[in-house]
Structure 1
Amino acid sequence: MNLFLLLLICFTPLTSQEIDNKPSINHRLQLIPPEERKALEGFFRRLFYHADFSYTLFGLKPMGSIDYSLSHLRFPVFYKNPEQHLYLMALDEKDWNVWERCQHLFPMEKYSFVKVEKDHSFGFFLVNKEKSYAVIEKNLQLFQNLTGKKICPRTLLHMLCQGQLAYSFSSAPYSTLYHKALGLLYGYGEENVQVFIKRNQLLQTLSNLPLDVKNLPSEIARYLGRTETSKRPAKSPPKIEVASLVSELKKLLDENHFVKGTKKDNPFLPIKRSCFFGSEEYAQTQSLMESRDEITSLIVKIYESEIFLETILGMLTAP
């Protein structure tokens, strides 16, 4: 969509808009009790604060998610403030229940917005149906291998929109296929996805060996400190094998890192940039960063707008 047209749509007073001859977004919001409207405002602001959600809403990503995990709390690298993490988990859980009660007022055609739960984790997934379908269709064999079924792209999209693909295949023996499918749906690019998978494979191999982490390069030791381990073998592997694995992983970590996904550095930007493992040198990464930077000012305007909730719901329910 033309950026100027998108700006015009987003900031046209929504009290006068009609969506498919239905009542305006503002009119529908008036049907919700004031304190629940306030809860929805906070809920969607927290979601929009995460770049994954806002980029998906603007069509820059096929899918975005905001994930919470109790199991990650023991790793300080993930959450430096576990109390804040627990508070946000509880708050978003509570406000999702508010959304469930009133979501019938805001039917979506272009998007699917679902909550997915598994074990000690849950997340909110926003799926751009058109963009996600294109990824699934292009990589149909990958998704069929992941599910173990010869099913068509439409059925796979339906499964994704129902939350049936998220988390379900995240553990072995599906983890490599899952990470590739997820990375492509998150719009990280084929090359970045491949190096992420390679990094995980090398880390997992090393983590299952009886190694003294203190003797490893510091950057590798940090990664191993947050990698799940299986039963360690009783017999130590040959030193040359370990040295080869460490050398390969160190080279990969030297050439790739967590990319901020932007060429700009604005510490006052009121949104949380989503990072992904890869390299700025890849053409796909360059293109991704440029497209995100083009939309940043519009994201900030919407985030700071007095009609934020009306605008977001208008975009989500657009035909």
Structure 2
Amino acid sequence: MGLSILPALSICMSQVKKISNEIWMLYKRFVMTFAFTVLFLPLLAFAECYDGMHTKQTENLQNILTSMPIEDRQDLECLFRYLMADGDFAYALFGDKPIAFSDFYVDLELGFFFNQSTLNSFATIYKGWLVWQKYKSSFPSNSFILMDYVSVDYKLIGFVLYHKQKVQALYDKHQPLMSIVFQDVDRIATVICSPTLEHLKLEYDKHLYHQALGLLLGYDATNAKRFRDKFELIDALMIGPFALEGLNVKTTETILLNLQDKKSIDSQYSNFRELKIPDIIRQLNNLSDNLKVINLSLRDETLSPIKIPKYMAFEGDQEVIARQKAYDKIRDRLIKIYFSENFLEIILSRLQS
């Protein structure tokens, strides 16, 4: 009985398959059209919209540059060439660095330390900074924030460039430290763009600020602690008129003990933590013996217009090696951009990306 059903069942399945194929052939074009409409057209529309936005942005940039007086354009180009020559700025704009600081300082009262070229460079940066104030609102960015600041006496002009998403990721990763120091991610720019910390009322230990700043600069937790130690050392050295070089342990201890009752000149502005003398001596010796300023490049910088960023770390540190390789990957590209005829357009376009 069961065997007699099999041929009939086979014929039935064959008929079902045949009917299914006929239905598929009949409605295949409709199904494919529907799938294309639902799945692919939105993607194509988004791509066209993105291309349109990019094209419009490029046209707007071209229009601004075309309408800009030649002198303004030249001043802006000079400013950004100085910033690009500072390796940190270039690495933050085109590489993996989350944030970069570029400070330009001159003290005319100590003018004998500077030659005419130095003063001319500062004047060029100042002119570029003035021009940038006129046009910076015309170049909004979704990815970057470029902040600038100047001291009251105009002896210091500084720029802070940071990548929003990378800084946000670091802010979220290093909690609660970041919240303690900055309170909110949107306050980072305000805090770090203060020309001097002496007049900035901090509601936390100043050295927590330096630790958070080290993390934002791209250091890992270990090297951020070393970055903080460096500033603790600077605070220690500010207690008395002595320098790190040439001091052995015995001399260092003698000087610090003699200055034990003196306060750091910064302490009057905030509740900065006072280091104990043994801590200062230990850090002084440790940093002097082990912490080095290392180039973030394994290549020779001879004849290169772009300064290689420096990094305070122990030699052979794995993070340093990784960063050296990452920086060298984009170094050729940075130099090509620096010498490009469309240099200013490339920089402003990247800032707007």
TM-score range (shorter-chain normalised) is 0.7 to 0.9
What one-letter code is carried by the residue in structure 1 that aligns with 2:285? K
Contact 1:199 1:252 in 2 (8 A): yes
Bigger share in helix: 2
How far apart are 1:246 and its partner, in Å? Answer: 4.1
What SS does structure 2 have at the residue aligned with 1:21?
A: helix
> C-alpha offsets along residues 158-215 of structure 1, whole Å, 9 cap, x if unaligned?
2234x33333784576421121122111113322221232233245346536989898
Q: Distance in 2 between matches of 1:247 and 1:262?
A: 30
Q: Distance in 1 between matches of 2:54 and 2:121?
A: 33
What one-letter code is carried by the residue in structure 2 that aligns with 1:263? L
How far apart are 1:144 and its partner, in Å? Answer: 1.9
Matches within 5 A, 1:266-281: 266-281=301-316
- TM-score of the two chains, using structure 2 as the length reference: 0.67
Q: Which residue of 1 aligns with 2:217?
A: 186
**Aligned residue among 63, 66, 72 for 2:99:** 63
How far apart are 1:35 and its partner, in Å? Answer: 1.1
**Aligned residue among 97, 112, 127 for 2:130:** 97
Contact 1:17 1:24 in 2 (8 A): no
Structure 1 residues 132, 100: closer, same or farther in 2, change over 3 A?
Answer: same
Q: Which residue of 1 aligns with 2:145?
A: 112
Contact 1:18 1:24 in 2 (8 A): no
Matches within 5 A, 1:1-319: 19=54, 21-22=56-57, 23-70=59-106, 81=114, 84-118=117-151, 121-147=156-182, 151=183, 156-161=184-189, 163-167=190-194, 170=197, 174-202=205-233, 204-205=235-236, 208=239, 216-217=247-248, 232-233=259-260, 246=281, 248-318=283-353
What SS does structure 2 have at the residue aligned with 1:123?
A: strand
How far apart are 1:89 and its partner, in Å? Answer: 3.4
Instruction: Indicate the structure whose relative CO is greater, using CA pairs within 8 Å and at least 6 residues apart.
Output: 1
What one-letter code is carried by the residue in structure 2 that aligns with 1:189? D
How far apart are 1:46 and its partner, in Å? Answer: 0.8
How far apart are 1:24 and its partner, in Å? Answer: 4.7
What SS does structure 2 have at the residue aligned with 1:132?
A: helix
Structure 1 residues 297, 211: closer, same or farther in 2, change over 3 A?
Answer: closer
Number of aligned positions between the proteins = 279
Bigger Cα displacement from structure 2, 130-139 vs 244-253: 244-253
> C-alpha offsets along residues 220-242 of structure 1, whole Å, 9 cap, x if unaligned?
98xx9xxxx9x94459xxxxx97
Structure 1 residues 86, 252: closer, same or farther in 2, change over 3 A?
Answer: same
Q: Which runs of 5+ in 2 are unaligned?
A: 1-50, 263-275
Structure 1 residues 168, 50: closer, same or farther in 2, change over 3 A?
Answer: closer
Structure 1 residues 83, 279: closer, same or farther in 2, change over 3 A?
Answer: farther
Q: Which residue of 2 aligns with 1:8?
A: none
How far apart are 1:82 and its partner, in Å? Answer: 6.7
What SS does structure 2 have at the residue aligned with 1:268?
A: coil
Q: Which runs of 5+ in 1 are unaligned?
A: 1-15, 236-240
- TM-score of the two chains, using structure 1 as the length reference: 0.74
How far apart are 1:251 and its partner, in Å? Answer: 3.4
> C-alpha offsets along residues 271-310 of structure 1, whole Å, 9 cap, x if unaligned?
0122121123222111111100111000001001111111
Structure 1 residues 26, 20: closer, same or farther in 2, change over 3 A?
Answer: closer
Structure 1 residues 259, 212: closer, same or farther in 2, change over 3 A?
Answer: closer
What one-letter code is carried by the residue in structure 2 that aligns with 1:100? Q
Contact 1:135 1:185 in 2 (8 A): yes
What one-letter code is carried by the residue in structure 1 that aligns with 2:220? G
Bigger Cα displacement from structure 2, 48-57 vs 206-215: 206-215
Q: Distance in 1 between matches of 2:222 and 2:107?
A: 29
How far apart are 1:86 and its partner, in Å? Answer: 4.4
Contact 2:102 2:158 in 1 (8 A): yes
What SS does structure 1 have at the residue aligned with 2:141?
A: coil
How far apart are 1:72 and its partner, in Å? Answer: 12
Structure 1 residues 111, 213: closer, same or farther in 2, change over 3 A?
Answer: closer
What one-letter code is carried by the residue in structure 1 that aligns with 2:239? N
How far apart are 1:107 and its partner, in Å? Answer: 1.9
Contact 1:62 1:187 in 2 (8 A): yes
